[in-house]
Amino acid sequence: MTETGTRPATRTGTDVTVAIGRAQAHYVRCIDDDRLEEWPDFFTETCHYRITTADNHRRGLPAGLMWADTRGMLTDRVSALREANIYERQSYRHIIGQPAILRESDTESPTGGGIEVESETPFLVVRITGDGPMDLFASGRYLDRYLIDGPTALLRSRVVVCDSSETDTLLALPL
C-alpha cells in the first residue's frame, strides 16, 4: 500500500490518474448523452454504488437515495427509468474535477493481478428539465475504489456524496 504522490505510475506502466481520468470522462458522457444502458459497464460485476449526502456520510448512516451492490441492480435502475418511472424529460451536464489519488494496493483481477486505487473526484451537475429550466442540481464528490487492470479502470465502489441533503423535486438519472 502506498500513499500517493510517491508513485505516479504503476508497475504495469499505467498512470492511474490518466486511467481514472479517462474512465470518468467516459462515465459522465455516458450519462449526459443519455446512453444509460452503458452505465453499468463502468462497474465490476460485484460492486457498490450509493448516492448519499454529506450529512449521512459524516454520521455513518448507510442508506442511499440509490443503493446497489451488483451490476444487475444498476441495470435494473436503468430499466426502471426507461420503462416504469414517470418524470419529466431531463438531462444532466456533469462537470468533474481532477481525481485525487488517495491510495493504491495490489489486488486480484480477472486477468491475474491488478491495482485497486482509491480516489476522490469533485463534481457539479446541472439539470436541464425539458428544454427549459437549467438548474445547479447537485455538487459533491465521488469516493471511488477503482480496479485498474492494464489500461482499463472499472469501479468496484462509487459512493456519490452530495454536499446538500436536499434534492429538488426528484432524482431520476444517476449521478
126 φ, ψ (degrees, to nearest 5): -95, 135
One of 28, 73, 96, 128 touching other proteins (CB under 8 A):
73
For the record, the C-alpha cell of 66 comes out as 440509490
Q: Is residue 83 part of the contact set for other proteins (CB under 8 A)? A: yes
Residue placing its CB nearer to other proteins in the complex, 101 or 173: 173
One of 31, 47, 68, 161 touching other proteins (CB under 8 A):
68
32 contacts 120 by C-beta, under 8 angstroms: no
One of 47, 77, 114, 145 touching other proteins (CB under 8 A):
77
β 90-96/43-53 pair status:
unpaired
Report which secondary-structure segment, H or E, holds 97. Answer: none
What is the dihedral angle through the alpha carbons of 40, 99, 107, 7, rounded to the nearest 10 degrees? Answer: 160
The interface region with other proteins, picked from 48-56, 97-105, 117-125, 140-148 by CB under 8 A, is: 48-56
Residue ranges that bind other proteins, judged by CB under 8 A: 51-53, 55-56, 61-70, 72-73, 75-77, 79-80, 83-88, 165-172
